Amino acid sequence: MSKVLIIEDEKNLASFLQLELMHEGYEVEIQYNGRAGLDAALELSDVDIILLDLMLPELNGLEVARRIRQVKDTPIIMMTARDSVIDRVSGLDHGADDYVVKPFAIEEMLARLRSLLRRSSVKQETIEDSDNRISYRDIFVEKDNHIVRRDDQIIVLTKREYELLLSLIENINVVQGREDLLRKVWGYDSDTETNVVDVYIRYLRNKLDVPGEDSYIQTVRGTGYVMRR
């Protein structure tokens, strides 16, 4: 269930919006002045979208939007009776994502709200996907399903090979010693000799490297291994 924060000093309009939004399945919170609205927007972690009036007591909507944008990227729909191009541009420049002129049809408001929530959801999915995917040169690692690709080709790795590659690719430009890699990949209590790291580095190079091109994994003599940008 998405949560909507309404910051509106016209109590009749705020109540009307609350009823319509709750009827559509949204959770709603109302604040009636700019200062309280700003506090709620910054303090509440579960607000998905904000309906923000332009003309508010204590702190106007432009300033509220500006201060929210310094901290959060919660979608904001600005509501106002002022319909000039300058007013709209000012609202958008201060951080609003959309601008609705009063009086408005509730169907239009709901459509704009749904559109912004969809865009916000896609953005969040993109962020989450970027956290799941790691790339180095033309190698892509999908962490959730332990898949390694070069372009559209899957590179088949064993569990140890995959974990060793992941440790290197998550620490670009950081030289890791054999003992460090041994602890990360084989476990702190492993009795495995450190030269097993060299063996698995060779396995990885055989599967990853392209003839005639620099190796993905560089050896730092006397220290360990690293992937460098």
With left for phi above 0 and alpha for psi between -120 and 50, is residue 99 left, alpha or beta? beta
Q: Is 202 exposed, middle or buried (0-12, 13-18, 19+ CB in 10 A)?
A: exposed
DSSP 103-172: S--HHHHHHHHHHHHHHHHHHHHHHHHHHHEEEETTEEEETTTTEEEETTEEPP--HHHHHHHHHHHTTT
Domain 3-129 sits in CATH at 3.40.50.2300
Domain 137-226 sits in CATH at 1.10.10.10
Q: Where are the domains of the chain?
A: 3-129, 137-226
- What is the rounded distance in angstroms from the CA atom of residue 1 to the CA atom of residue 68? 22
What are the pLDDT digits (tens) for 147-172? 898 877 899 999 889 999 999 998 98
- What is the rounded distance in angstroms from the CA atom of residue 39 to the CA atom of residue 109? 24
What are the pLDDT digits (tens) for 184-212? 888 755 555 668 899 999 999 999 998 88
Q: What is the pLDDT along the chain (229 residues), one digit of tens a residue?
A: 789 999 999 999 999 999 999 999 999 999 999 999 999 999 988 899 999 999 999 999 999 999 998 888 889 999 988 777 777 777 777 888 888 999 999 999 999 898 888 876 655 544 445 567 888 888 888 888 888 988 778 999 998 899 999 999 989 889 999 988 988 888 755 555 668 899 999 999 999 998 888 899 999 988 899 998 7
Q: Output phi, psi for 74, to 5 deg.
A: -55, 130
For residue 225, the cross-strand partners are: 176, 219
pTM over 0.75: no
Contact 74, 96 (CB under 8 A): no
- What is the rounded distance in angstroms from the CA atom of residue 69 to the CA atom of residue 72? 5
DSSP 212-228: TS--SSEEETTTEEE--
- What is the rounded distance in angstroms from the CA atom of residue 162 to the CA atom of residue 164? 5
Q: What is the C-alpha radius of gyration for the chain, rounded to an integer number of angstroms?
A: 27
